[in-house]
Structure 1
Amino acid sequence: MTIGFVFECGPQGADKAVCEYLAGQLKPGEKLMSRTLDNKLKLLEGAAPVAKQLLAEGCQKVLIVWDLRPAWPDKKDKPCRAKERQTLLKGLADHGLANAPVYLVCVEQELESWVIACDHAINAFLSTPAHSYRAKRVRRPDQEKNPKSAMMKHFQQARGWKYEDRIHATQVLRAAPLDLNRLRCSVSFERFEAKLQ
């Protein structure tokens, strides 16, 4: 099976890297094809024709993945998954994809919601033989208001490093065996996993 993805990041973005890594772990041996649209506004406006192209290129299903945070295009507005979902569904319908195997996965709040759920991986990545680091377990990662900030604090406290999602998000997840029970504490990850199956 070939699975297509549409992301709101750039070609080297963290969302693409993390989702492809997780998809590879969940569906080993499947072919993955990804397209990136740089930001949420471009994704909301352009995901439908890109999904249509991925289906035409042989993908059996396409997942459109985006972060709820930050709000876009007006950062004063509170992010609204329902509004963004309706925009994407309208685009899909306009391109004849209303009943196509195209699935929407909104990561709540942002990609780091999934990463902070894996405290064991954070600990493994940030610990040294001389200094063990212990991140607090987050049982409801989707409710963490600013998970990227939480990751920044872990990196600063443990090693004095600056967290950079493009570099570190996947490295953290690879630092320990994948724990699906921890990841499934995130409803948005559960949706991602379900739509891959």
Structure 2
Amino acid sequence: MKVGIVCEGRLAGEDAQVFEHFARRIAPDAAVKTFPQGTKPELIAEAGAVVASLFATGYDKVLIMWDIEPRWGKPDGEQQDTQDIQVSLGNAGVAAHL
């Protein structure tokens, strides 16, 4: 099974390393790779396109992981982030994978 993890951060950054480590501990037979997108706004904007690309290239499962702290000190946090990511997934035609 191929598992992609779309996350904040940079290639080989701390988030990517931790997520890959835990994913391999949970599913040791899975091929796991992270796809960091930079900042949270960049992750939200690109989530749908990245997820669609991963499914199109043979990934079986794709996780989207991000920091749930409110954006820029605003009280919108996880709920608004989730809604924005769902819109991005819908726009890319992969909302059915939720």
TM-score range, shorter chain: over 0.9
User: Which residue is equivalent to 2:91?
Assistant: 94
User: Which residue is equivalent to 1:28?
Assistant: 28
The aligned amino acid for 1:63 is L
Cα distance, 1:79 vs structure 2: 4.8
- Identify the match of residue 84 of structure 1 among 57, 81, 84: 81
Q: What is the rounded CA distance, in whole Å, between the counterparts of 1:51 and 1:61 in structure 2? A: 9
Q: What is the rounded CA distance, in whole Å, between the counterparts of 1:14 and 1:78 in structure 2? A: 26
Cα distance, 1:80 vs structure 2: 1.4
The ranges of structure 1 where at least 4 consecutive aligned residues each deviate by more than 3 angstroms after the TM superposition are: none
- SS across alignment from 2:95: coil
Cα distance, 1:53 vs structure 2: 0.6
User: 1 or 2, which has the higher strand percentage?
Assistant: 2
Work out whether residues 20 and 33 of structure 2, in 8 Å CA contact, stay in contact via their aligned partners in 1. Answer: no
Q: What is the rounded CA distance, in whole Å, between the counterparts of 1:87 and 1:62 in structure 2? A: 17
Work out whether residues 68 and 79 of structure 1, in 8 Å CA contact, stay in contact via their aligned partners in 2. Answer: no
Q: What is the rounded CA distance, in whole Å, between the counterparts of 2:33 and 2:15 in structure 1? A: 14
Q: What is the rounded CA distance, in whole Å, between the counterparts of 1:76 and 1:90 in structure 2? A: 22
User: Which residue is equivalent to 1:57?
Assistant: 57
Between structure 1 and structure 2, the one with the greater Rg is: 1
Q: What is the rounded CA distance, in whole Å, between the counterparts of 2:81 and 2:6 in structure 1? A: 15
The aligned amino acid for 2:89 is L
Cα distance, 1:82 vs structure 2: 0.7
> TM-score, structure 2 length as denominator?
0.92
- Structure with larger RCO (C-alpha < 8 A, sep 6+): 2
Q: For each residue in 1:35-75, what CA deviation from the matched residue of structure 2 results, as whole angstroms up to 9, or x when unmatched?
A: 11111010011111001111111101100000112x33xx2
Gaps of 5+ in 1: 103-197
Map 1:20-169 to 2 at 5 A: 20-69=20-69, 71-72=70-71, 75-100=72-97, 102=98
> TM-score, structure 1 length as denominator?
0.47
Matched-pair identity in %: 28
Q: What is the rounded CA distance, in whole Å, between the counterparts of 1:36 and 1:76 in structure 2? A: 23
User: Which residue is equivalent to 1:13?
Assistant: 13
Cα distance, 1:76 vs structure 2: 3.2
Q: For each residue in 1:71-96, what CA deviation from the matched residue of structure 2 results, as whole angstroms up to 9, or x when unmatched?
A: 33xx2313511100000001111111
Question: Pairwise CA RMSD of aligned residues?
Answer: 1.3
